[in-house]
């Protein structure tokens, strides 16, 4: 298994990798744990939403890094995460903290 951000070189892969590592750190998870979680896991959806919002990496790359099945499954999880962010203050706080952690580690 490759490390986070390796298949994509350049600044896009680096930034997306930083965001994913910051999310894993905040969630106190290892990459292997995230790989074992179900495809539509809320944590995966939140991380995918952050990466898509803050970078221009493709859904294929995101769904490969956070095993989410097909592009449509990844897109669906991102949509659900965005709906949850509108309604759930705690989810918005998590997102804000992950982005802050990513900025510190950049």
Q: What is the set of domains in the chain, with CATH numbers? A: 11-105 (1.10.1750)
Answer whether residue 55 shows pLDDT above 80.
Answer: yes
**pLDDT beyond 90 at 84:** yes
Burial readout 39-66 (b: 16 or more C-beta within 10 A, e: otherwise): bebebbbbbbbbbbeebebebebbbebb
State CA 27 to chain mean position distance: 11
The pTM is what? 0.85
Q: How far apart (Å, rounded) are the C-alpha atoms in residues 106 and 95?
A: 16
Q: What is the rounded distance in angstroms from the CA atom of residue 79 to the CA atom of residue 94?
A: 17
What distance in Å separates the CA atoms of residue 94 and residue 29, rounded to the nearest whole number?
14
Residue 3: predicted pLDDT = 55
Q: Would the pLDDT of 92 be above 90? A: yes
Task: Quick: pLDDT tens for 6-45.
Answer: 555 566 578 888 999 999 999 999 888 888 899 889 999 9
pLDDT at residue 45, as a whole number: 94
Q: Which of 46-50, 70-74, 101-105 has the lowest mean pLDDT?
A: 101-105
pLDDT above 90 coverage of the chain, percent: 54
Backbone phi and psi for residue 80, each to the nearest 5 degrees, phi listed first: -65, -40
Distance CA 2, CA 53 (A): 23
pLDDT value of position 34? 85
Average pLDDT of 54-63? 90
């Amino acid at each position: 298994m490759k490390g986070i951000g390796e298949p994509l070189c350049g600044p896009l892969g680096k930034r997306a990798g930083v965001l994913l590592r910051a999310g894993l750190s905040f969630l106190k998870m290892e990459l292997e744990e995230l790989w074992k979680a179900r495809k539509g896991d809320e944590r995966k959806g939140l991380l995918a939403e952050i990466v898509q919002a803050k970078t221009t990496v493709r859904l294929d790359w995101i769904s490969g890094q956070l095993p989410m099945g097909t592009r449509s499954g990844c897109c669906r999880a991102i949509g659900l995460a965005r709906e949850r962010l509108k309604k759930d203050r705690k989810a918005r706080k998590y997102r804000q903290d992950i982005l802050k952690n990513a900025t510190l580690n950049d």
